[in-house]
Chain A
Amino acid sequence: MSPVTYGWLVLAFPLAGTILISLLYKRLPGRSAGWIGAGAILGAFLSGLGALSQMLAVAPEQRIFEGSLFAYARTLGVDVDLGILVDPLSLLMVLIVSGVSFLIHVYSIAYLTSDAGYSRFFAYLNFFVFSMLLLVLAGNFILLIVGWAFVGAASYLLISFWYRRETATKAGIKAFVINVIGDVGLVLAAFLLFSETGALSYAEVFAAAPEVFSPNEGVIVIACLLILVGAFAKSAQVPLHTWLPDAMEGPTPVSALIHAATMVTAGVYLIARTHPLFEIATDAAAVAAIIGTATLFIAATIALVMTDLKRAIAYSTMSQIGYMVLGVSAFAYGAGMFHLMTHAFFKALLFMSAGSIISAMGGEQSLDRMGGLRKAMPFTFVVFTIGALALAGFPLTSGFFSKDAIIDFTLYRGGLYTVLAIFAYAAALMTAIYSFRLVFRVFFGKKCPEAEELEAGHLHHADPVNPATGEPEGTDVGFPGEEHHIAERDWPMKIGMAPLALLALVAGALQIPGVTEAVTHFLEPTFAGSEYLEAHPTVAEEWRGLAIGGTIAVIGIGIAFFLYIRRPQITPALQARFGALHSFLAHKWYFDELIDACVVRPTAAFGRFGRNVVESQLVQGVLVGGATSVVRVGTSTVRTLQSGYLRAYAALLLIGMCGLALYFLTVSS
């Protein structure tokens, strides 16, 4: 079979899983929906491996395969095939997405056992994986937009999965609205490109682009900026990032899969995919690099003070995606995509461990309540620490090789990028501090009551409350189940986490500067046309960067150790000393408030204006003849009502007509 056939299989498995579970959900006993879901994703992953073996059998320059199922739309000027593109870049994404998804599915089989919406969860999750794979396999902008919209919808469904929690539905709506802003950007970008190049498939657009556009021409820069709006909304980059922390209202496996490992990295994939455009519009690429740096820095500072375990990891996700965006916008495609991959491993791992910890705490997510869980949860402790080491960039872990490669490349580009690299190093120090802040505060220190309970062999069960508001809630459909599941007691959770822990430790071996560099070489066919392919730092420079990065990581971990183990009294003192700064960070740089004041309130006011003023006041009030007649209109005789309305309608009709006539008379000779 050709790689394209395997590509279709990759899509077919999760789609079949979704349909099967949705049709049979009432009849599926016990955990079978979970196993069907996980099996479907495993099928997709194995198909991805099949495509990989087929691809590796041919020479590197022939490794780009296109195939279309049927002509989707052919009309005057528009040719769109239902076509997919299987090349090293999309295949790498397929393998990451399906591989990590499979493990998270296995984890969820146990984690969601007692949820009343068990089958619904797996139907949604399979639908998400299908959409995400469609997004990465799409061979043209139309299919990309379809996948893009679908993952947004799946994300909405899963964030609001516990739909009886008002906080969850609100978070879902927020995520959806911000994602729609991104969709608009992407759609407009596609149309702009289409109107200029006359094509919609990647191959044709990229082939035509260098001839149609001159470097940094207005149109292409605008198109790229619109693409960035789409990428930034999906990837939670400032100022479109505020939905991501709130998205933590979804079940923890969802946070691991969608809001850490896969969907939120779609923006990075998109920039890498459209790199021929960004290499023409280098101004747009510079904007992307600056925004990426701003995000990685801002998010890292916020992560330092977050006291909600999941939200702290969410800000860390934002920050790490900032590194990836910086990488691909600095044209370090191999490094950026490699960081995407290692991040998928260690961040999914961190979230899955966090799920286990939150279960042990009976649903409590606040760091302030946690402590001393090391002995009670040995497995979770080990894998969480491995995840934190990789996140901090501790020497020889996967994050060490991937993150520092990005910073090296940024330094190598020089100029503006030198400044960005310095910010990236500063954020790296904070990354090490906040990741070990989590380790030390959760697993070390004074044992919390739940830890002692667990050591005594009893899993803590609290009355179910909403962690965001503290309101008591039920355990029926639309709420999390009553029982909790931790990795130490449920083997599917261990199965899901162990391979990721291993990968988080050793995946760096794939990309050792001057030794392996397997990912970069694998991706070369996709980026063959890039003029930056040959322009990379020397091996010596890369090792120098690794040395700096490793030192920073160790220093950061040391600082965290000092602050949270040796002198735990310092942090409250610091908080008191720099109260303003702390509350600035704790309020997440006031982004929510800013957006609320600048966008939400004016829009809401406009909406109210539309309803109150235009509909009730202007039409029914002013034109009909005052507010009193509104009441009369509603209740008294039909005659009053009719004459009132008609006069107004005829009047407006005539006013409109006069306006039109006036316009035409002004243009007449």
Chain B
Amino acid sequence: MKAPTIDYLAFAPILATLGGSLLVIAFALARASFVQRVVLPGLALVSIAVAAAFAVITWETGDQTTIIEGALAVDALALGFSLLVYAAGIGAIALSLRSEIARDAGRGEYYALLLASITGMTILVAAENLVTLFVGFELLSIPLYVMCAAAVRDERSLESGLKYLIVGSVGSATLLYGLAMIYGATGSTDFAGISAAIGTGVDATDPLLLSGIALAITGLAFKASVAPFHQWTPDVYEGAPTPVTAFMAVATKIAAFGVILRLFDDALLSTQLQWGPALAALCWVTIIVGNVGAIGQSSLKRMLAWSGVAQAGYLLAGIVVGTRLGAEAVFFYLAVYLLMNIAAFAVVIARERVSEHGDGLRSLERLGEASPWLAWPMTIAMLGLAGFPLTAGFFGKFQLINATVSGSYESLAIAIVIGSMISLAYYLRVIAVMWMSPREIEIPAAPGRASRKVRPAEGWSPEAGAAAQPEVTAVAVLCAVLVLAIGIFPDPLFDVARDVGSSLAGFL
């Protein structure tokens, strides 16, 4: 039996993060403070940068190939989504630098797990094969289960990790079952093979195939926080250490939508008539549940979690239509979603370390006067998430609505608009808390749980402003500036999105 030939240049991005992960673990054996504090995160950053560089080089050659006997695709879709994941990874590392949790969990293990998860995500978005898909899915998930529990001295973090693990296992099992049924129906694990089989050997309404699709949707929707498979999201986001939450909120969503895009809009495109209405219904439910859930949250992390559920609903609309325009819109929206969420989480992290209110909405009170360098990024992120004109979020929603209208799913356009209007209620409240005097704003009590008073983290005082943690402020400001810049000059990102969209061959 002959081993498959591997195009190592095309495989290099994945090897870079995987190798980086192993290197970090090895270096972590050195207990010197310099190694622990500087070398390890530096190594992680370098390996991501190398991976990103290889990805860009491969993209520049413009080839669309598959490697390892068709297991992984190397095309603009895979590379584009990988680059977004890398960006999320860099953001997460920057936000973790001063965090207690990296120390508590062991810095080596922490960064190694992060890199392993990134590797899983890049494999997932490149998967051309059901088996690779599942390998990527698990490689993404397992490190994240551990990272959620990284703050080993915080009950909530442990609870969050365990919860994520158990509910996540149900999701994984469901997905695997679904993939097996799809294989059973089509006789192929290759996406190309599945696509070819449907219509020729297998009917598009074959019960086995459709049952498999139903189970696969469940598993993937779980990862993407699509309602009604979203309930873990607020709890896990709230409990997990905030840098991990930030990474999970954006990177997991990017990876999940990357693979959903490839699976549904490539391999299963010919059954679009069957899954389209089901996903459209999920889309409606998700938008309503997410937006209604976000109203009345007093924890910023919970609010952002519910908002993430709502955003997943918007993104799903781009998948449902099954057109190139939809795929472009999904990529574009994920890119701006990444920026807006990293900016928001950076501000939450900066405040959570110094405020007695922790991640509560109150921690932002009068931030506009105290540290405008944090208040402005948060304001821009909130406006962007709400889809306000002149921010990138506006174009993101615009693209999605445009895709749904031209794909004859006008009802989803209405859902997106209604959802955005509801969302103003909670996004604008954040802005109001930062800029207006506390007297006028009603901050809801946390539902169900007693609110907790939090002491500022070790070595921090409530007076610490934006300058005390420059890297966090820098991440927030950089993301916010990009949100504005893309809101004013969206063309470059449109071009990239067009490239990504063109790599899915099945569209007309």
Contact = CB atoms under 8 A, between A and B. Distances in A.
A373 interface: no
Given A611-B447, A655-B228, A645 B163 contact: yes
A620 interface: yes
Given A188-B417, A615-B447, A668-B205, A610 B211 contact: no
Contacts of B166: 646, 650
Interface in B373-422: 388-390, 395, 398-399, 401-402, 405-406, 410, 413-414, 417-418, 421
Interface residues of B, number: 72
Given A180-B424, A655-B228, A664 B213 contact: yes
B461 interface: no
Interface in A496-522: none
A641 interface: yes
B258 interface: no
A444 interface: no
A656 B440 contact: no
Interface residues of A, number: 60
B12 interface: no
Nearest to A667: B274
Interface in A546-601: none
B417 A75 contact: no
A77 B402 contact: yes
B210 to A, nearest CB: 4
A619 B395 contact: no
A71 B405 contact: no
Nearest to A661: B214
Nearest to B324: A76
A615 B448 contact: yes
A412 to B, nearest CB: 39
A146 B414 CA distance: 19
Given A615-B448, A630-B448, A664 B274 contact: yes
Contacts of B368: none
A423 interface: no
Contact of B448 (A633, A660, A664): A633
A654 B169 CA distance: 12
A231 B63 CA distance: 51
Interface in A53-87: 71-78
Contacts of A616: 447-448
Interface string A174-207: 0000001000100110011011000000000000
Contacts of A146: 389-390
A638 B163 contact: no
A667 B390 contact: no
A667 B210 CA distance: 9
A642 B163 contact: yes
Contacts of A665: 207, 210-211, 214
B159 A76 contact: no
B494 A641 contact: no
Interface string B349-362: 00000000000000
A163 B437 contact: yes
Contacts of B232: 649
A653 B218 contact: yes
A77 B325 contact: yes
Given A77-B402, A615-B447, A668-B207, A650 B159 contact: no
A610 B288 CA distance: 10
A163 B440 contact: yes
Given A163-B437, A191-B401, A653-B171, A76 B295 contact: no
A158 to B, nearest CB: 15
A669 interface: yes
A71 B488 CA distance: 10
B490 A650 contact: no
A664 B211 contact: yes
Interface string A409-451: 0000000000000000000000000000000000000000000
A151 B163 CA distance: 47
Nearest to A654: B170
Interface in A95-122: none
A284 B222 CA distance: 46
Contacts of B439: 164
Given A620-B448, A665-B207, A610 B295 contact: yes
A270 interface: no
Contacts of A664: 210-211, 213-214, 274-275, 278
A147 to B, nearest CB: 9
A146 B232 CA distance: 37
A650 B167 contact: yes
B503 to A, nearest CB: 14
A635 interface: yes
B217 A660 contact: yes
Given A645-B235, A652-B228, A664-B214, A611 B206 contact: no
A650 B170 contact: yes
A76 to B, nearest CB: 6
A75 B328 contact: yes
Interface string A137-161: 0000010011001100000000000
B491 interface: yes
A145 B397 CA distance: 14
Contacts, number: 168
Contacts of B405: 191-192, 194-195
Nearest to A149: B389
B7 interface: no
Contacts of B206: 668-669
Contacts of A620: 447-448
Nearest to B174: A657
A82 to B, nearest CB: 9
A668 B401 contact: no
Contacts of A150: 389
Contacts of B228: 652-653, 655-656
A641 B159 contact: yes
B398 to A, nearest CB: 8
Contacts of A668: 205-207, 209-211, 274
A665 B209 CA distance: 10
A180 B439 CA distance: 25
Nearest to A608: B296
Given A74-B491, A615-B293, A649-B231, A657 B159 contact: no
A611 B448 CA distance: 10
Contacts of B328: 75-76
A180 B213 CA distance: 39
A149 B386 CA distance: 13
B278 A77 contact: no
Interface string B226-248: 00110110010000000000000
B388 A149 contact: yes
B159 A638 contact: yes
B406 to A, nearest CB: 6
Contacts of A654: 170
B292 interface: yes
Contact of B413 (A164, A191, A655): A191
Given A75-B491, A664-B278, A667-B210, 13 more contacts: A77-B406, A614-B292, A615-B447, A615-B448, A642-B163, A649-B163, A649-B232, A653-B171, A653-B231, A663-B214, A664-B210, A664-B275, A668-B206
Interface of B: 155, 158-159, 162-163, 166-167, 170-171, 174, 203, 205-207, 209-211, 213-215, 217-218, 222, 228-229, 231-232, 235, 274-275, 277-278, 281, 292-293, 295-296, 324-325, 328, 388-390, 395, 398-399, 401-402, 405-406, 410, 413-414, 417-418, 421, 424, 436-437, 439-440, 447-450, 488, 490-491, 494, 497-498, 501
Nearest 9 interchain pairs by C-beta: A664-B210, A669-B205, A668-B207, A656-B228, A661-B214, A75-B494, A657-B218, A610-B292, A660-B214
27 contacts: A75-B490, A76-B328, A146-B390, A149-B388, A150-B389, A163-B440, A164-B439, A169-B440, A184-B421, A188-B414, A191-B401, A191-B405, A192-B405, A194-B405, A195-B405, A610-B295, A619-B231, A634-B449, A641-B159, A649-B163, A653-B170, A655-B228, A656-B218, A660-B214, A660-B218, A663-B278, A663-B281
